[in-house]
Amino acid sequence: MGLTLLAAQPSHAADTPDPAAGRTIAESGVLTGHVGCSACHLMNGAGQPDVGIPRLAGFSAAYIAQQLDFFASDKRSNSWMAPYARMLTPRQMQDVAAYYAALPEPPPAENDPAGDALRARGKEVFQKGDMAHGVMPCGGCHGPAGQGMGAFAPHLAGQSAPYLLEQLRQWHQGKDRDPMGKMMVTETHAMADADMQAVAAYVQSLPAPNAGGTK
Ligand code: HEC
Ligand code: HEC
């Protein structure tokens, strides 16, 4: 009996993602001669909005781990991410996802007043959709504050506008992106490019709904 218990304990601990191990992966990677995730996504998970590198802080661990799996298996094709995702074991994916998911969200990028009208249109689309073009309110799936809905729909608030726009345009062109992307293909099918730009600008300006990294 005692032996069974002893044997069960380490295997339970081994199943629990370890954010401290994930921090090391973010900092210095898993293979010598290759950078860690932070070289692009930064240690605080803010990403680099200007060059379209997405922020990771604010996502659920489930979403991060799932996307890493998609990149590694070419279900989501991206030449930047594929090599880094392939370096990770499934366990390391869970660990690094746990690290980034626990971070508090950085404040959104500063708003340029010149973009006020664009963001106002984006807010309208986000909250009310555009029924004439089959566009449902984004908040209906991504949460009214863009906070995401668990493993179903990812967190959007504060995300890099260039990155958001690139994703929307690829779906608009009919590309699934990954096995979860069908809904977004339908959503963006008849969306005008100006509206995709507007909603991306609005979403980038949304403050952290999960301040403190809890969700
Ligand atoms: C050389 C730069 C670079 C490195 C290093 C890098 N990434 Fe990325 N990552 C990117 C880029 C660029 C994208 C956007 C891909 C796209 O446009 O589809 C991305 C996308 C992602 C996404 C998808 C985000 C979303 O919004 O769907 C996740 C998750 C991710 N990276 C996690 C990681 C993790 C974890 C590591 C370390 C193991 C890492 N990345 C290392 C550049 C990098
Ligand atoms: C019916 C539900 C639904 C609606 C409505 C919806 N989405 Fe999504 N969205 C999803 C799902 C599910 C995913 C995950 C797709 C994947 O992993 O490929 C997603 C993913 C995304 C992503 C990718 C996030 C990332 O980090 O890579 C963006 C950007 C996005 N949606 C924006 C929007 C916008 C903007 C609207 C409104 C115009 C919208 N969505 C409306 C369900 C929805």
CB 40 within 8 A of CB 80: yes
Confidence grade of residue 40 (pLDDT, cut at 50, 70, 90): very high
Residue 3 lies inside a defined structural domain of this protein:
no
Computed over every residue of the chain, the mean pLDDT equals 91
Q: Give 179 Cα–ligand 1 centroid separation in angstroms.
A: 18
Q: List the one residue out of 54, 61, 72 whose CA is nearest residue 22.
A: 61
Q: Give 109 Cα–ligand 1 centroid separation in angstroms.
A: 19
Window from 30-34, 87-91, 124-128 with minimum mean pLDDT = 30-34
Give the structural domain span for 126. 113-205
Region 146-159: what's the mean pLDDT?
A: 92
Please say which residue of 44, 71, 101 terminates a domain. 101
In this structure, the answer to whether residues 91 and 140 fall within a common structural domain is: no
In this structure, the answer to whether residues 84 and 134 fall within a common structural domain is: no
Distances (CA, A) of 42 to 57, 103, 171: 10, 12, 27
Q: Give 139 Cα–ligand 2 centroid separation in angstroms.
A: 10
Q: Is the pLDDT of residue 45 over 50?
A: yes
Q: What is the CATH number of the domain that holds 83?
A: 1.10.760.10
In this structure, the answer to whether residues 146 and 83 fall within a common structural domain is: no
Quick one: which atom of ligand 2 is closest to the CA of 66?
17
Find out whether 138 is annotated in a ligand binding site. yes
Find out whether 141 is annotated in a ligand binding site. yes
* In 80-160, alpha helices (H): 81-86, 90-101, 116-128, 139-142
Quick one: which atom of ligand 2 is closest to the CA of 179?
18
The reported pTM is 0.92
Provide the number of structural domains found in the chain.
2
Residue 215 lies inside a defined structural domain of this protein:
no
Give the integer Cα–Cα distance in Å for 75 and 170: 15
In this structure, the answer to whether residues 117 and 190 fall within a common structural domain is: yes
Residue 4 lies inside a defined structural domain of this protein:
no
In this structure, the answer to whether residues 143 and 196 fall within a common structural domain is: yes
In this structure, the answer to whether residues 79 and 152 fall within a common structural domain is: no
Residue 130 in tokens: 């555009």
Residue 49 in tokens: 């909005």
Find out whether 40 is annotated in a ligand binding site. yes
In this structure, the answer to whether residues 42 and 89 fall within a common structural domain is: yes
Return the pLDDT at 13. 62
Return the pLDDT at 146. 96
Find out whether 189 is annotated in a ligand binding site. no
Distances (CA, A) of 116 to 59, 90, 144: 27, 43, 20
Please say which residue of 68, 101, 134 terminates a domain. 101
Structure confidence by residue, pLDDT tens digits, 49-108: 888 899 999 999 999 999 999 999 999 999 999 999 999 999 999 999 999 999 999 888
Residue 108 lies inside a defined structural domain of this protein:
no
Please say which residue of 101, 134, 159 terminates a domain. 101
Give the integer Cα–Cα distance in Å for 47 and 3: 47
Nearest alpha carbon, ligand 1 atom 9: 81
